[in-house]
Amino acid sequence: MATKRVKFTFPQELIKEPVIYKLGVDFGIVTNIRRADIRDDMGWVVLELEGESEVVEDGLEWVTSTGVRVDPIAGDIIEG
Amino acid sequence: MPHVKCLQCRECKTEYPIEPLNACEFCFGPLEVAYDYNSVAKAVSRKSIESGPNTMWRYHDFLPVEKESAVDISTGFTPLIHAKNLGRQLGLDHLYIKNDSVNPTFSFKDRPVSVTATKALEFEFDVLACVSTGNLMGSVAAHGAKAGMETMVFYPADLEQGKIQGAAVYGPTMVAVEGTYDQANRFCSELADAYRWAFVNINMRPYYAEGSKTLGYEVSEQLGWKAPDHCVVPGASGELHTKIWKGIEEFEGAGLIEKAKTKMHLAQAEGCAPIVEAFETGNNQVRPVKPETIAKSLAIGNPAAGPYSLEVLRETGGTGVAAYEDSIIDGIRMLAETEGIFTETAGGVVISSLKRLVEQGKIKKDEVTVAFVTGNGLKTLEAMGDFVDPIETKPQMNTFQTKLSKRRD
């Protein structure tokens, strides 16, 4: 089993999409939300994902394909 | 390290022991070093600081490490220059340039990395590591060499050769990561979990960030123990902006300066300005962007300290400014031609933004203003383009004089 801490950033048009629910139902990933801020025009959720390593990777790839941005919780770590 | 209390979550305020941690176990918020400021105030005075070394380590009481073990390559206490020529051009009587491009590896990154390398030795790490596209890699490689640590430098595989050589010369293991920027970013984040290495801006981030506070101390001391009216600070992750302000506030809290009324302005490049965009739209969320700027050292699309930088902007009455991409080189040349200081693109962003702040009436003629120049121009020569237009002459006096007259007309 692997755990991953990630941040999802939702553009306005995807705020109403049940992305996290689908990660649980369609991929069997355990999701645990720790912090979130959802507004009319954008939103983000910081959460932990738990599941088989490959399944978590597949799940994140699917989330990215929907247009939701996936980042490590530390944000961009590649510095100039 | 007598004045350090703990690590504390910036969001939920949960406290943690002093360990190589960067995220809160409860809310995953970032951790920051917390101090016993009463103890700091008792230990320091203007005199004690003035009798310290002419480096950033004169402020060791405000840093989360033991002085004795400092990995010091003579970083800090860089010149604060009264920029009379540039000031005259912009209409400012009291403009100062904090020239941090003269640090040992030619950027301000030596400040946070010096603290991190020192802390890494205290934690008994064997390996110092970073992922970088420029200034940070050179600084980590140099400090790793000085500390006698194994050093790992990760970088995107398509990085320019000049930047790679500038770090490789110190003898680290260089690792070129293939794939997109986002893939490299996530991969390196996972590496930090997988290996017991001191990753400077990941698991060591709370200590790393503290080094940048020394810029706030230095400027206040160099202005005669007084905070400036305005600071113009380049913005990438937003951390430098918040830490300079933290430094000024800490000096105030320790009774070393009077109450600061500094307006902390943030300068980003138009092609990567997520914090400025949030500031201008009144948001307290920072919307990530895909960087498209020539200011590569500021190209952080999802800035970790963005929300905290916004807080500092609003708390101090500062302004977020995005420098137009085509004005960045103008800013570099303006500083070079007036003050003889050649800065990299981030400095061009600062000077160009400073000009806009003056034009907008945000900075007045008689106010003390400090512009932070954080990196050397030789690092971003490729961004300058082909701007040299020499007089071409045969080795004959007449030809030369004719051509010179024509140029001067």
Average of per-residue pLDDT across B321-348: 97
Token pair listed for A40 = 């009319």
Give mean pLDDT, residues B240-258. Answer: 98
Residues B217, B62 contacting (CB under 8 angstroms)? yes
Give helix B306-316 / helix B239-253 axis angle, nearest 10°: 50
For residues B268 and B241, what is the distance between their CA atoms, to the nearest angstrom? 11
What's the half-sphere exposure (Cβ side, CA atoms, 13 Å) at B347?
30
Contacts of B230 (CB under 8 A, 6+ apart): B262, B263, B265, B318, B357, B362, B363, B367, B368, B369, B370
Q: Mean per-residue pLDDT for B111-137?
A: 96
By C-alpha distance, which of B316, B350, B346 is closest to B245? B316
**Which carries the bigger pLDDT value, residue A76 or residue B81?**
B81
- What residue spans define the domains of chain A? 2-72
Task: State residue A42's pLDDT score.
Answer: 86
- Shortest CA distance to B26 belongs to which of A69, A71, A73, A70? A73
**What pLDDT, on the 0 to 100 scale, is given for residue B135?**
94
Cβ within 8 Å, pair A35-B11: yes
Among the partner-chain residues B23, B303, B346, the one whose CB lies closest to the CB of A76 is: B303
Confidence of residue B53 (pLDDT cuts 50, 70, 90): very high
B158 vs A62, residue with greater confidence: A62
> Cβ(B333)–Cβ(B350) under 8 Å?
no
Q: Please give the pLDDT value at position B183.
A: 79
User: B-side interface with A, Cβ within 8 Å?
Assistant: 11, 22-23, 26-30, 109, 130-136, 156, 181-182, 184-186, 188-189, 201-202, 205, 236-237, 283, 285, 287-288, 296-304, 306, 346
B404 pLDDT higher than 90: yes
| Average pLDDT score over residue span B144-153 | 97
Query: Rounded to whole angstroms, how far apart are CA atoms B409 and B400?
Result: 14
pLDDT at B1 over 70: no
Per residue in B64-119, pLDDT (tens digit) is: 998 777 999 999 999 999 999 999 999 999 999 999 999 999 999 999 999 999 99
| Pick from A35, A44, A76: CB nearest B285 | A44
What pLDDT is stored for residue B401 in this prediction? Answer: 97
pLDDT at site B193: 84
- C-beta atoms of B185 and A46 within 8 A: no
Percentage of chain A exceeding pLDDT 70: 100
Buried b (16+ CB within 10 A) or exposed e, A23-57: beeebebebeebbeeeeeebbbbbbebebeeebbe
Query: B177 to chain A: nearest residue by CA?
Result: A78
- Flag whether pLDDT at B20 surpasses 70: yes
Res B11: pLDDT = 95
Mean pLDDT, chain B, whole residue set: 95
* Residue contact A79–B132, C-beta within 8 A: yes
Please give the residue of chain B at the shortest CA–CA distance from A35. B27
Q: Is the pLDDT of residue B218 over 70?
A: yes
Q: What is the pLDDT of residues B305-314, one digit of tens each?
A: 999 999 999 9
Q: By 3-state DSSP, what share of chain A in percent is helix, strand and coil, each rounded to 5?
A: 30, 40, 25
Read off the pLDDT of each residue in B8-23 and give the average, rounded to a whole number: 96
pLDDT at B180: 76
Cα torsion A62, A64, A68, A74 to 10°: value is: 120
Confidence (pLDDT) at A32:
97
Q: Least CB-CB distance to B188: which of A37, A77, A80?
A: A77
Rounded percentage of chain B residues whose pLDDT exceeds 90: 88
Name the β-bridge partners of A47: A6, A33
Q: Does the pLDDT at position B200 exceed 90?
A: yes
| Mean local confidence (pLDDT), A49-75 | 93
Question: At residue B142, what is the residue type?
Answer: A
Residues 6+ apart with CB under 8 A from B386: none
pLDDT tens track for B271-287: 999 999 999 999 988 98
Q: Are the beta carbons of B265 and B321 closer than 8 angstroms?
A: yes
For the cut 90, the answer to whether the pLDDT of residue A79 exceeds it is no
Using CB atoms, pick whichever of A69, A78, A80 lies closest to residue B288: A69
**pLDDT of the residue at B284:** 85
Instruction: Provide the CATH topology of domain A2-72.
Output: Alpha-Beta Plaits (3.30.70)
What separation, in Å, do the N-terminal and C-terminal C-alpha atoms of chain B show? 64
Pairwise CA distance, residues B57 & B75, whole Å: 8
Chain B environment of A5 (Cβ under 8 Å): 23, 28
> Which residue do the tokens 């025009």 mark?
A41
Please, which pLDDT band fits residue B138 given cuts at 50, 70 and 90? Answer: very high
What tens digit of pLDDT does each residue of A15-50 get? Answer: 888 999 999 999 999 999 999 999 888 899 999 999
Across residues B2-22, what is the average pLDDT? 95
The average pLDDT across B211-229 equals 98
Which of B233, B235, B243, B240 is closest to B278 using CA atoms? B235
Ordered by where they begin, the domains of chain B are 4-63+109-208 (3.40.50.1100), 80-106+212-384 (3.40.50.1100)
Asked whether residue B358 carries a pLDDT value surpassing 80, the answer given is: yes
Amino acid occupying residue B392? E
Q: Closest residue of B to A76, CA-based?
A: B302
Please enumerate in sequence order all residues whose Cβ is within 8 A of that of B292, keeping only pairs 6 or more positions apart, or say none: B271, B272
* Residue of A9, A71, A79 with shortest CB distance to B236: A79
CB contact under 8 A, B299 and A80: yes
Nearest-by-CA chain B residue for A68: B288
Q: What percent of chain B has pLDDT over 70?
A: 100
Q: Which residues contact B10 (CB under 8 A, 6 or more apart)?
A: B29, B30, B31, B32, B308
B233 within 8 A of B240, measured Cβ to Cβ = yes
